Amino acid sequence: MPVPCQFYRISAAIVTLFSVFSLAPVSAQDAALVARVDAVLAEWDAANKPGAAIAYIEQGEIVFKKAYGLANLEHNIPWSTATVSDLGSVSKQFTGMAFALLAEQGKLGLDDDIRLHLPQLPEFGETITIRHLFNHTSGLREIYNTLYLINRKPGDIIFQEDAQTLLRYQRKLQFSPGSRYLYNNTEYMLLADIVEAVTGEEFHLWMRDNIFLPLDMRDTEIMHEQGQVIANVASFYRQTDDGRFLQVYDNSTLQGGGGIYSTVEDVSKWIANFVNHRVGTPHSFELLTTSGALNNGESLDYGLGIAVSEEQGSRQWKHSGSSAGYRSMLVYLPDYQRGYIFQTNTPAYGIPVDELNEALLGDVLSERGQPADSDQPESADTVALSNPGQFAGRYFSDELEVFYMVTQEYDELLFAHRWLGSFSMRYLGDDTFALVDLGGSIRFNRNDSDAVTGFELDNGRTIGVQFRRMP
């Protein structure tokens, strides 16, 4: 029978208490743990703000779980530990397990040429393997950064088939496969396509039947079509400069690299699987958590969709996730069989990974972690520029079928797109400019007569996009 609406108007505080004390009686040690986590997540613990949930697991069992704040501001629905949200890139390790299972079944090899399974992909003159896709070393274009150059904006729809369309028009690899690490979601979209090609099943159904349901993750599903209705899902919000919260929308149907909607309770079952191996074998987890390497032998500290490193005096398996307004973090210490999953419906307060590590794992971690490296290049000093007008003109990318203008206003150059707007250009020397606010940089090319003929654009994870100067 339908649940009365009044049920959902129960206070966030009562739901929070229920989610903690629905477990065994709280010991003094557990109470101290709760107090530490409460202190870290105080920002989320409000009756009128977006919220979060966390679950902490030891030896394959949930020791502690708790929810904070609101899952939906419009209807005053509190978060609970059964609230569903998008895991973002935490999803990648589930794709890794899919390939570990398929490899053990002899249906594919991690060193297969990807065109063995997706022959419709273009040839780039070098072999790209499944392992290259997993390790972010393929040289293929990153779908988000590239589509943003074409006038897609954050929140615009991205379809699964867009990955192969993007690559169909890529003229050359960004770098030789295995020579460089550059985080990339296109690769994981292709991995989902390979699962479909190998199994003959739709990716979201294969994952449900072979991973989610065997782990009893019954509140977990993959968003595979635009507008898909997902039960008990949190709405998600960004915070404005004046402190208000605005709703954000997830229109992506990206699979393989993200798109798994789940709860902290369900993800706890996945973390427990690190111990009990209900899905997969010890060899599966060895495949999942063995670090890849560059061609020169340098370790990447990254396995099949999960970061694997030794830091703070302990081995760690972990990954963060970001999708629209959702954020998530999974951390696991295999030597101690301890870990946690954190999920929230706002990026307003970041992911307090160092603080949660200290609160939950601090007794075995020797020191606090270091901030993750940013994808943004370091700031460089501006160099004086003479004759800025030589760069002004209209430029076209055959690969992206998009025009940009370089215009001069007094002594300043602007990088402009009809729909995206204008962005200041800061000269760095050697015909190279930083694109202020847009991010990335452009490097102009010249012919034998020293005339400017075009430029190459780098935009974070998308690099070397060629533009030619139009008459």
**Averaged pLDDT of the chain:** 90
Question: Where residue 31 falls among pLDDT bands split at 50, 70, 90?
Answer: confident
Q: Please give the pLDDT value at position 2.
A: 44
| Torsion of the alpha carbons at 92, 157, 152 and 187, rounded to the nearest 10 | 20
Q: Which of 344, 361, 378 is the C-terminal boundary of a domain? A: 361
- Asked if residue 426 and residue 314 are part of one domain, the reply reads no
- Asked if residue 396 and residue 302 are part of one domain, the reply reads no
Q: How do residues 369-418 score in pLDDT, each as one tens digit?
A: 444 444 444 455 667 788 899 999 999 999 999 999 999 988 889 999 99
Percent of the residues in the chain that have a pLDDT greater than 70, as a whole number: 90
- Asked if residue 353 and residue 394 are part of one domain, the reply reads no
**More confident site: 213 or 378:** 213
- Asked if residue 293 and residue 232 are part of one domain, the reply reads yes
Q: Please give the pLDDT value at position 380.
A: 55
Residue whose C-alpha is closest to residue 264's, from 90, 11, 104, 95: 90
- Residues 254-267 have a mean pLDDT of 96
Q: Please give the pLDDT value at position 154.
A: 74
Q: Please give the pLDDT value at position 14.
A: 41
Q: Please give the pLDDT value at position 367.
A: 63
**More confident site: 10 or 149:** 149
- Asked if residue 282 and residue 222 are part of one domain, the reply reads yes
CATH assignment at residue 447: 2.40.128.50
| Residue 13 located in a structural domain | no
pLDDT of 56 > 70? The answer is yes
**More confident site: 229 or 13:** 229
DSSP lists the bridge partners of residue 341 as 55, 330
Alpha helices in 230-349 (DSSP H): 264-276, 282-289
Q: Is 166 helix (H, G, I), strand (E, B) or coil?
A: helix
| Residue 377 located in a structural domain | no
| Residue 317 located in a structural domain | yes
Question: Where residue 24 falls among pLDDT bands split at 50, 70, 90?
Answer: very low
Burial of 337 from C-beta contacts in 10 A (0-12 / 13-18 / 19+):
middle
- Asked if residue 277 and residue 412 are part of one domain, the reply reads no
Torsion angles phi and psi, residue 391, rounded to 5: -95, -15
| Residue 50 located in a structural domain | no
> How many domains does the structure of the chain reveal?
2
- Residues 336-353 have a mean pLDDT of 96
| Residue 253 located in a structural domain | yes
pLDDT of 6 > 50? The answer is no
Q: How do residues 90-110 score in pLDDT, each as one tens digit?
A: 999 999 999 999 999 999 999
Question: Where residue 28 falls among pLDDT bands split at 50, 70, 90?
Answer: low
- Residues 153-174 have a mean pLDDT of 90
Show the domain range for 189. 86-361
| Torsion of the alpha carbons at 148, 154, 155 and 160, rounded to the nearest 10 | 40
| Residue 80 located in a structural domain | no
Q: How do residues 69-94 score in pLDDT, each as one tens digit?
A: 999 999 999 999 999 999 999 999 99
- Asked if residue 266 and residue 322 are part of one domain, the reply reads yes
Q: Please give the pLDDT value at position 375.
A: 42
Q: Please give the pLDDT value at position 227.
A: 85
Q: How do residues 298-335 score in pLDDT, each as one tens digit?
A: 999 999 999 999 988 999 999 999 998 999 999 999 99
- Asked if residue 328 and residue 189 are part of one domain, the reply reads yes
- Asked if residue 333 and residue 250 are part of one domain, the reply reads yes
Rg for the chain, CA atoms, rounded: 24
| Residue 78 located in a structural domain | no
- Residues 134-145 have a mean pLDDT of 96
pLDDT of 53 > 70? The answer is yes
- Asked if residue 423 and residue 320 are part of one domain, the reply reads no
| Residue 14 located in a structural domain | no
Q: Where are the beta strands (DSSP E) in 228-313?
A: 236-239, 245-248, 260-262, 307-311
- Asked if residue 335 and residue 438 are part of one domain, the reply reads no
- Residues 458-463 have a mean pLDDT of 92
Q: Please give the pLDDT value at position 381.
A: 64
CATH assignment at residue 239: 3.40.710.10
- Asked if residue 248 and residue 209 are part of one domain, the reply reads yes
